[in-house]
Amino acid sequence: MDSEALWLTLRLALTTTALLLAIALPLAWWIASGTGAVRALVQAVVALPLVLPPTVLGFYLLVALGPLTAPGRLIIRLLGHPLAFSFSGLVVGSVLYSLPFAVQPMVAGFRAIDPALAEVASTLGASPLRIFRTITLPLAKPSVITAAVLTFTHTVGEFGVVLMLGGNIPGATRTLSIALYDQVQDFNYAAANRTAGVLLAFSLLTLIAVYWRGAARRSVLG
Amino acid sequence: MRHHVGALSLDVRFVLTKPWNVLFGPSGSGKTTILRGIAGLVQAKGLITPRGRRTPLAPQSASLFPHWNVADNLTMGGGQRGHGDSREILKLFRLDDLKDKLPNALSGGEAQRVNLARATMWAENGGILLLDEPFNGMDVALRDEIIHDMRAWLAKRNVCVLSVTHDVAEAFQLGAEVIKIADGKVIAQGPVEAVLAEERERLLKQLI
């Protein structure tokens, strides 16, 4: 078992999840709070990683973050090294790749809230911030948790983007799924079996926890 | 106020003169939209309401906050100043035994009582309270008691009520000033005996 790769994978998934919650929450709320062409466009862009081959996303990011583009050159000047083939580069890629997994459950959650609740609260004198904090957010909490779990597990299982953008640097970009690929390339099936087992068990346990929790909630709230 | 939504066009002007005023009219005549306009939930031209004041609205569908029990529904989770005494309100609307229940454990009539209680509690002294079909689904005996107690509570605080109904008997029971609406226009305003005389005759004939 490659414990360095395991630790790196967890660190990447945690960082990505934290960043994505901060980005996706306001974005999802904005998408859910209206209609129109601009919102449709933003939603389409957000959903793109669902259908795009991860290697395509990885390739564009590799080019965009490298010395061939102005933003890439700026990053290299500021950091002293390119974002590609570094942990930070992987975080950028993972955030984009998992964006729909964070945004879409939250949009569904916000849309499921009866708009009359916010209206009533406003006629009772509650400010928009208070309404969001005490009514909208608590009612959307189950979908925010779903979004966080999906983002985390999806990032753990990421392969194409990591390979294109990060390569295979132990301790920096070599995640579990990359380690598994490596082990298979080396015909080290015993090690590959252990790595695959860890990823399978982790995914399955997470999903069981999500469904179990969902069932418990339904039986409590009727 | 003037308001347009698709085919519905609303052009109404009236003054609330009595402690209890009733907007009376058929479904689709714009009664609910008028309440929503006064509450600030729809944009309307020439709308005059006291600036910077709350005008609580009890909507037709109870719209209780599902994550709060009855007591917290009244206080909106607590912690906000400026509302009346919630204990007094719980008693007035006969909600003492229900105060720890979540909305999904309430019957339709109970939920409607909480809805009514919540709006009443947040009415400002000297302000306006908006009620959309407030006594729907409430059993008659309880309704009479609550109307009686509510009147006293509101009179003490000089709150002016504008309630919507299409029920002639309810308008008479409230003994209210009636503003009769049809097709988005005010067609009559005055004491209930004068404005709804015709409707009353028709109702009595049906009963006999």
Q: Which of A64-78, A95-109, B53-67, B116-130 has the lowest mean pLDDT?
A: A64-78
Please determine, for residue B191, whether its predicted confidence score (pLDDT) is greater than 60. yes
Q: Coil, strand, or helix at residue B18? A: coil
Look at residue B184 in the predicted model and tell me its pLDDT: 82
Q: Are residues B61 and B47 in the same domain?
A: no
B185-191 and B177-182 beta bridge pairing: antiparallel
Look at residue B200 in the predicted model and tell me its pLDDT: 87
CA atoms within 13 A on the CB side of B177: 13
Q: If you average pLDDT over every residue of chain A, what do you get?
A: 90
B131-190 per-position pLDDT tens digit: 999 998 788 889 889 999 999 999 999 999 999 988 888 888 888 889 998 888 888 888
Q: Are residues B134 and B76 in the same domain?
A: no
Of B26, B19, B32, B11, the C-alpha closest to B199 is B26
Look at residue A170 in the predicted model and tell me its pLDDT: 87
Please determine, for residue A33, whether its predicted confidence score (pLDDT) is greater than 60. yes
A57-99 per-position pLDDT tens digit: 999 999 988 888 888 888 888 888 888 889 999 999 999 999 9
| Domain regions of chain A by residue span | 3-34+49-216
B73-90 per-position pLDDT tens digit: 999 987 555 455 788 899
Q: Among residues of chain A, what percentage have pLDDT more than 70?
A: 96
A102-131 per-position pLDDT tens digit: 999 999 999 999 999 999 999 999 999 999
Can you read off the two tokens belonging to residue A13?
A: 């998934």
Can you read off the two tokens belonging to residue A12?
A: 């990447």
Look at residue A149 in the predicted model and tell me its pLDDT: 92
Q: Which of A172-186, B78-92, B112-126, B170-184 has the lowest mean pLDDT?
A: B78-92
Q: Which of B94, B122, B150 is the last residue of a domain?
A: B122
CB atoms within 10 A of CB A172: 16
Q: Which of B41-50, B88-97, B134-143 has the lowest mean pLDDT?
A: B41-50
CB B178 within 8 A of CB B192: yes
Q: Which of B122, B139, B165 is the last residue of a domain?
A: B122
What fold does the segment set A3-34+49-216 form as a domain? MetI-like fold (1.10.3720)
CB B111 within 8 A of CB B63: no
Question: ipTM surpassing 0.90, yes or no?
Answer: no
Q: B188 φ, ψ to 5°?
A: -165, 150
Q: Are residues B34 and B130 in the same domain?
A: yes
CA distance A140 to A33: 13
B9-22 per-position pLDDT tens digit: 667 777 777 889 99
Q: How far is B51 from chain A (nearest CA, A)?
A: 12
Type of residue at A137: L
Of A182, A169, A2, A179, the C-alpha closest to A81 is A169
Provide the CATH number for the domain around residue B187.
Answer: 3.40.50.300
- DSSP state for residue B45 in the 8-state scheme: B
Compare B111 and A168 and report the one with higher pLDDT.
B111
Q: Are residues B130 and B47 in the same domain?
A: yes
Is A123 in contact with B82 (Cβ distance < 8 A)?
no
CA distance B110 to B34: 26
Is A123 in contact with B39 (Cβ distance < 8 A)?
yes
Q: A87 φ, ψ to 5°?
A: -60, -40
Residues of B with CB under 8 A from a CB of A: 39-41, 54-57, 59, 61, 63, 65-67, 76-77, 80, 82, 102, 104, 118-119, 122, 130
As a whole number, mean pLDDT of residues B56-70 equals 94
DSSP β-bridge partners for residue B192: none
As a whole number, mean pLDDT of residues B64-79 equals 90
Q: Are residues B208 and B129 in the same domain?
A: yes
Q: Are residues B169 and B101 in the same domain?
A: no
Decide if A210 touches B, using CB distance below 8 A: no
A35-67 per-position pLDDT tens digit: 899 999 999 999 999 999 999 999 999 998 888
Q: How far is A62 from chain B (nearest CA, A)?
A: 46
Look at residue A185 in the predicted model and tell me its pLDDT: 94
CB A103 within 8 A of CB A46: yes
Q: Are residues B76 and B160 in the same domain?
A: no
Decide if A123 touches B, using CB distance below 8 A: yes
Look at residue A195 in the predicted model and tell me its pLDDT: 94
CA distance B10 to B25: 13
Is B119 in contact with A222 (Cβ distance < 8 A)?
no
DSSP B157-187: TTPEEEEEE--HHHHHHHT-EEEEEETTEEE
Compare B71 and B29 and report the one with higher pLDDT.
B71
Q: Are residues B71 and B145 in the same domain?
A: no
Look at residue A220 in the predicted model and tell me its pLDDT: 46
Structural domain including B66 reads 57-122
* Cβ contacts of B41 on chain A, cutoff 8 Å: 119, 122-123
Which of B61, B66, B76 has the CB atom closest to A121's CB atom?
B76
Please determine, for residue A144, whether its predicted confidence score (pLDDT) is greater than 60. yes
Please determine, for residue B125, whether its predicted confidence score (pLDDT) is greater than 70. yes
Q: Which of B105, B122, B139 is the last residue of a domain?
A: B122
Q: Are residues B134 and B95 in the same domain?
A: no
DSSP β-bridge partners for residue B181: B186
CB atoms within 10 A of CB B85: 10
Please determine, for residue B68, whether its predicted confidence score (pLDDT) is greater than 90. yes
Q: How many CB pairs under 8 A join A and B?
A: 53
CB A99 within 8 A of CB A20: yes
* Cβ contacts of A221 on chain B, cutoff 8 Å: 102, 104
Compare B206 and B103 and report the one with higher pLDDT.
B103
Domain tally for chain B?
Answer: 2
H-run or E-run covering B57: strand B57-58
Of B41, B128, B55, B131, the C-alpha closest to B93 is B131
Look at residue A221 in the predicted model and tell me its pLDDT: 44
H-state helical runs in chain B? 31-38, 70-75, 86-92, 108-122, 140-156, 168-174, 192-195, 197-207
Decide if A125 touches B, using CB distance below 8 A: yes
Look at residue A91 in the predicted model and tell me its pLDDT: 95
Look at residue B7 in the predicted model and tell me its pLDDT: 47
CB B163 within 8 A of CB B174: yes
Please determine, for residue A25, whether its predicted confidence score (pLDDT) is greater than 90. yes
CA distance B120 to A116: 18
